[in-house]
Amino acid sequence: MLPMSRTAILSLALGLTLLAAACASAPYTGRRQLLFTSEGRETKMGYQAFEQIKRQYKLAGNPDTNALVTQVGRRIADAAQRPDYRWEFVVLEGKEANAFCLPGGKVGIFTGLLKYTKDEAGMATVISHEVAHALARHAGERLSQSMLAQAGGIGLGAALGGVGSLAGTAIMQGYSLGAQLGILLPYSRTQESEADRVGLILMAKAGYDPAQALEFWKRMMTTDKGGKLPQFMSSHPNDASRLRELQEFLPEARKYSVPAQEAQSPPPPGIPAATRPSLAPAAPAAGRWIPAP
């Protein structure tokens, strides 16, 4: 039996890794995923990125906006059923119309997005969409994709005559690139569509009417028409496709619907439930409007 070349060994190792990674699947949708990293590693990166972001951007000072984001965020977090996440919800000063949920449950809303969210239902749409990205480990997928590209470079380097420190360098670059792609830059259209679908389910589980999500997306699509798309909509499906898919996802999401009062998490120990603020179901005529920053 002839000895295996270094290139063959690397190719075999990569193939075995791909085989193992193919066993992962996204929650609710069951889509097969390519995931090379552990969720713990992704979460650690998410927490590190969140601290950097909070140092880079000023926290918004409007107490009403902050309270509403926290209130809506907690409802969505309860629906997500990830008590292992260290949930945190912040509003950040920034002109960009953008939001994020980092691995591990760190959620940020930029004030530039408030002109689109407008009310509680709109904010629930944004937070549930971003939380869906985290639940489906889309950041991990993007990181894995970048690592796969780096692994290809390693194989190429081996085929050309040597690896040396190239392997370690490429892997570290893969992690760095993956953090940027998976956390701070837009996701692919497939992942965006999946986040729309899972987001509607989370809204329903949190006691919101998932149909109200369409109103938010329509505002995003019609405002500033003809100009540059908000960052929140980068790499998303086109308008007609997105609205059509949202309509198609609604029947599935409604199967998860619960009354708003049942969706509230229990009050902290020692605080009577009667002292909690009422969280009425989100509806166009009864939505809480978000004050301007």
Active site residues: 130
98, 116 Cβ separation under 8 angstroms: no
Residues ≥6 apart with Cβ < 8 Å to 184: 49, 100
Q: Which of 205, 242, 235, 239 is nearest to 222 (CA)?
A: 239
For residues 267 and 276, is the Cβ–Cβ distance under 8 A? yes
**Residue showing tokens 């409802």:** 75
Rounded to 5°, angle at Cα 131 from 184 and 225: 65
Distances (CA, A) of 167 to 10, 146, 157, 186, 191: 11, 14, 9, 27, 29
Nearest residue to 148 (alpha-carbon basis) of 40, 21, 42: 21
Residues 6+ apart with CB under 8 A from 212: 121, 122, 124, 125, 203, 282, 283, 284, 287
Q: Helix crossing, 120-135 with 63-80: angle to 10°?
A: 50
3-state DSSP: the chain helix, strand, coil percent, rounded to 5? Answer: 60, 5, 35
Cα separation, 194 vs 237, whole angstroms: 11
